[in-house]
Amino acid sequence: MPKKKDKKKSKSKRGERIDPAKLAELKKKRKFRKYYFRGVEVEKLLDLPHGELLKLVTSRARRRFRRGLKEKPKGFIQRLRKAKKACAGSIKKPKIIKTHLRSMIIVPEMVASQIGVYNGRGYILVEVKPDMIGHYLGEYAITYKPVGHGRPGAGSTGSSRFIPL
């Protein structure tokens, strides 16, 4: 039996060609990924009452918020609000707020803000994303320089002490 020739679709090097009208329609349909924190959308987290938000976080964070925020964390959150309000209408990112509060738990209100977290030597820029809610600021500012293991130097083993004359 003779082989039948398959009809080939017009393909370019990048894949199948799509007409511009179809492409525009696909772009309209395209939706960005929605972020969820423990099953609740991040936009809805901002509207949740304090008690409902506490039910979603870990027990350590729950205990911390129940005992109340001290003066420094309150002032830090107020500075974040002020920076976000200053750039609310524009596309610009908010001003970087520097802090030493590594133990501050990231709340939904902090999302999309820029924070300079002190690591003992300098400030590390942290852009708060929805995935970070419930974590500590210090988790995103490493305090040490990771070791890059290279070749062993002199004195690494007993045999390296012997130097022939």
How many Cβ atoms from other residues are within 10 Å of residue 99's Cβ? 20
Q: Could you list the mean pLDDT of each consecutive 10-residue stretch along the chain, which spans 165 residues?
A: 58 64 70 76 83 88 89 92 86 90 91 93 93 91 88 66 64
Residues sharing a CB contact under 8 Å with residue 64, sequence separation 6 or more, in sequence order: 105
pLDDT number for residue 142 = 93
Angle at 101 between CA 100 and CA 107, to 5 degrees: 140
Query: What is the separation of C-alpha 36 from the centre of its chain, rounded to a whole number of angstroms?
Result: 13
Report the 3 state secondary structure along 142-162. CCCCCCCCCCCCCCCCHHHHC
Q: Decide: 99 and 137 in contact? Cβ < 8 Å.
A: yes
Q: Report the C-alpha gap between 115 and 141 in whole angstroms.
A: 10
pLDDT number for residue 121 = 94
What backbone phi and psi angles, to 5 degrees, belong to 13? -65, -25
Name residue 127's beta-bridge partners: 114
Exposed / middle / buried, residue 31 (Cβ in 10 Å: 0-12, 13-18, 19+): exposed
